[in-house]
Amino acid sequence: MAHRPADSLLAQLADDLADAVVRRYRLDRSETLAAIRAEFSRRPALLDAAEKAIGLDDIKRMRVYRDAAQTVKKDLYYRLRQYRRKPSVADQELPDLTQLTAGSAASERLETIQRAAREHVSTSERLPHLPEFFEQLLSMVGVPETIVDVGCGVLPILAPLDGTGLATREYWALDKDREAMTAVRAYARLRADGRVRPLEWSLSEGWARAHDAGLPRRCDVGLLLKVVPVVARRSSALLTVLAATPADRLVISGSTLAMAKHQNIERRETRVLRSFIAAYGLLELDSFRTPDEIVFLVERAT
């Protein structure tokens, strides 16, 4: 059997691997293919192997290919597990938001805000049905005067704080993600009404530090959106801090789809949320569901 040209063989290998990866993971195929090609190009031994191979099956059995495939899959999976889609977000998207001024055109503001939101995974997942999410949320909790949003990401830059939302006097946005908080601070400065209150803060710091920074001793509503399951997996001891969120009512939620894989995780996330509710003596008042999220309204038992 005649050998195929090495470049043609590597191109087919990259296509096949890209197909396999996007079937399993929630990745854009073109970006995946580009990452695979870049990894292949860094491995001259792979090109040498392709020149000697007699076909796809032959080279797929080789260690040099398996190592390259494993490396690129690990890298792509790692990227998916990050809350920002790409390392350049801090250098490319968020500075655009910080550069907006009070005189910026409304269309420019909207476009820049949405672009920044798309770069934050948990926020971007809500974008296709964001009006539905906020409509159901406000129907469930009304328009609170004070809100504390724990692990907020960049959701505050999209919150409906105008129109009926004008009743909200203070929206405290708490997160340890420095880049996300850069975006929220820029948005707060742009609004210039003092209602969005960004605070770079971690659960491990405890609530005393947040109160010292101005957080009210009690807020009307605490938002713990997609936070409880993450903390339960990574630092379960900090669930006690979450349960002590200083708010009369808590909105807790979980994802219906895995961040990285094409996998429905609604049942697993619901189990974690209900375990949290039971463990800390919370009472379930209401709930709703969107295509990517299951949401519960709870309060502390009296």
What pLDDT digit, counting tens, does each position of 267-297 carry? 999 999 999 999 999 999 999 999 889 999 9
At 237-278, the pLDDT tens digits run 999 999 999 999 999 999 887 655 656 788 999 999 999 999
233, two tokens: 């997996």
**97 belongs to a structural domain:** no
**115 belongs to a structural domain:** no
Among candidate residues 50, 80, 110, the one where a domain is terminated? 80
Beta bridge partners of 264: 257
Q: What is the mean pLDDT of the chain?
A: 84
Q: Does 157 lie in the same domain as 233?
A: yes
**CB 39 within 8 Å of CB 68:** yes
> For residue 74, what pLDDT band results from cuts at 50, 70 and 90?
confident
**CB 100 within 8 Å of CB 109:** yes
**1 belongs to a structural domain:** no
At 156-185, the pLDDT tens digits run 999 999 887 789 999 999 999 888 898 899
Q: Does 140 lie in the same domain as 36?
A: no
Tell me which of 1-5, 53-57, 120-124, 143-147 is least confident.
Answer: 1-5
Q: What is the pTM of this model?
A: 0.70
Q: Does 292 lie in the same domain as 145?
A: yes
User: How many structural domains comprise the chain?
Assistant: 2
Range of the domain at 27: 6-80
**279 belongs to a structural domain:** yes
Nearest to 184, CA basis, from 93, 94, 118 = 94
**229 belongs to a structural domain:** yes
Q: Does 60 lie in the same domain as 141?
A: no
Q: Does 172 lie in the same domain as 75?
A: no
Q: Can you tell me the mean pLDDT for 98-108?
A: 74
Tell me which of 20-24, 79-83, 109-113 is least confident.
Answer: 79-83
Q: Read off the amino acid at residue 220.
A: D
Among candidate residues 18, 48, 80, the one where a domain is terminated? 80
Q: Does 165 lie in the same domain as 61?
A: no
Residue 245 CB partners (closer than 8 Å, separation 6+): 148, 150, 207, 222, 224
Buried/exposed 209-245: b ≥16 CB within 10 Å, e otherwise: ebeeeebbeebbbbbbbbbbbbbbeeeeeebebbbeb
pLDDT at 289: 92
Q: Does 245 lie in the same domain as 138?
A: yes
Local structure of 175: helix, strand or coil: strand
Q: Does 189 lie in the same domain as 75?
A: no
**116 belongs to a structural domain:** no
**CB 154 within 8 Å of CB 173:** no
Q: Does 57 lie in the same domain as 196?
A: no
Give dist(CA 129, CA 65) in Å, integer.
Answer: 41
Among candidate residues 21, 52, 80, the one where a domain is terminated? 80
N residues, the chain: 302
CATH number at residue 251: 3.40.50.150
User: Residue 20 phi/psi, 5° resolution?
Assistant: -65, -40
Q: Does 189 lie in the same domain as 40?
A: no
Q: Does 273 lie in the same domain as 136?
A: yes
29, two tokens: 């195929």
**96 belongs to a structural domain:** no
Percentage of the chain modeled with pLDDT above 90 = 44
**CB 115 within 8 Å of CB 96:** yes
Q: Does 128 lie in the same domain as 63?
A: no
**152 belongs to a structural domain:** yes
Across the chain, where does the E strand assignment appear? 146-150, 170-175, 196-200, 219-224, 247-255, 282-290, 293-300
